[in-house]
Amino acid sequence: MARKAWFTNWFNSPYYHQLYAHRDDKEAKAFIERLIGYLQPLGGATMLDMACGRGRHSRTLAELGYEVTGVDVAPENIRYAKRYETPQLHFEVHDMRKILCSRCFDYVFNFFTSFGYFDQLHQHELALRTMVTALKKDGVLVMDYINSYYASQQLIAREEKIIKEIGYLIERYEDERYLYKKITVNDPQLPSPLCFTEKVWKFTALELHTLLEKEGMKMVEIKGDYQLQPYQEKLSPRLILIAKRVL
């Protein structure tokens, strides 16, 4: 049997959601409201939240009056998200490397570095193609990615946290192509520690720009944080690309 990819195991784990619990609905709501204020979508616009996790961004988009679909590769995430389904909000399990639909959304969103997880560049190209293919002509893609240059400069090699009596040892490192985060979970209820390793491709703004252009996208703007300040390679924690489908 083929070994599951790291992101399938980790994102399905309750420890992932406990460790990142500070990334809460309030934070997501503030960012989404700011982003929508900037984008100014028409009422009733159709939106795809690609790699939606448990759907915190999707729920805010739907509350603002849009028709929203959230998809994620982790079944446990979608099982949780489905509690919040409404006539204008629904969720399904989907691998972003596989085409979902063609020209059916006005907006496609990819939030919180939900990209860059794969071993080959070709797989990342497939994921981008899925997002672009789902857009209508003149549709808008927003990718919220880590600024790898900034992350490298700010890298904290070792960190320990205790959350509800569970210990988390976080070790960060990098090589030429990836940023890594090794998480060792010490749960007193388990016979031995669990270990997960996040791995994210160190895409630059230029590399993502080039990949998007190859898929028929035109770059509109690049923002550098959740306050939507202009992107600066050495100073911005995020790399938020906004592009329009022109073909």
90 in Cβ contact with 69 (< 8 Å): yes
Q: Tell me the mean pLDDT in the region 157-167.
A: 97
With 80 as the cut, is the pLDDT of residue 3 above it?
Answer: no
Q: Given pLDDT bands bounded at 50, 70 and 90, which one contains residue 12?
A: confident
Position 154 scores a pLDDT of: 95
Name the average pLDDT for the chain.
Answer: 95
Q: Which amino acid is at 76?
A: E
Q: Given pLDDT bands bounded at 50, 70 and 90, which one contains residue 2?
A: very low
Buried b (16+ CB within 10 A) or exposed e, 191-214: eeeeebebbbbbbebeebbebbee
With 70 as the cut, is the pLDDT of residue 167 above it?
Answer: yes
Q: Tell me the mean pLDDT in the region 73-97.
A: 96
With 70 as the cut, is the pLDDT of residue 1 above it?
Answer: no
Position 24 scores a pLDDT of: 67
Q: What is the pLDDT of residues 109-154, one digit of tens each?
A: 999 999 999 999 999 999 999 999 999 999 999 999 999 999 999 9
Of the candidates 107, 108, 103, the one whose C-alpha atom is nearest the C-alpha of residue 137 is: 103
Q: Given pLDDT bands bounded at 50, 70 and 90, which one contains residue 4?
A: low
Q: Given pLDDT bands bounded at 50, 70 and 90, which one contains residue 201?
A: very high
Q: What is the pLDDT of residues 24-83, one digit of tens each?
A: 678 889 999 999 999 999 999 999 999 999 999 999 999 999 999 999 999 999 999 999
24: left (phi over 0), alpha (psi -120 to 50) or beta: beta
How far apart (Å, rounded) are the C-alpha atoms in residues 16 and 144? 19
Domain 6-146+204-245 in CATH 1.20.1050.10: no
Domain ranges for the chain:
6-146+204-245, 151-198
Q: Given pLDDT bands bounded at 50, 70 and 90, which one contains residue 15?
A: very high
How far apart (Å, rounded) are the C-alpha atoms in residues 195 and 212? 34
Q: Tell me the mean pLDDT in the region 178-198.
A: 97
Instruction: Give pTM, 2 decimals.
Output: 0.94
How many degrees, rounded to 5, is the angle at CA 116 between CA 110 and CA 117? 110
- Residues 6 or more apart whose CB falls under 8 angstroms from that of 61 comprise 32, 36, 47, 49, 68, 109
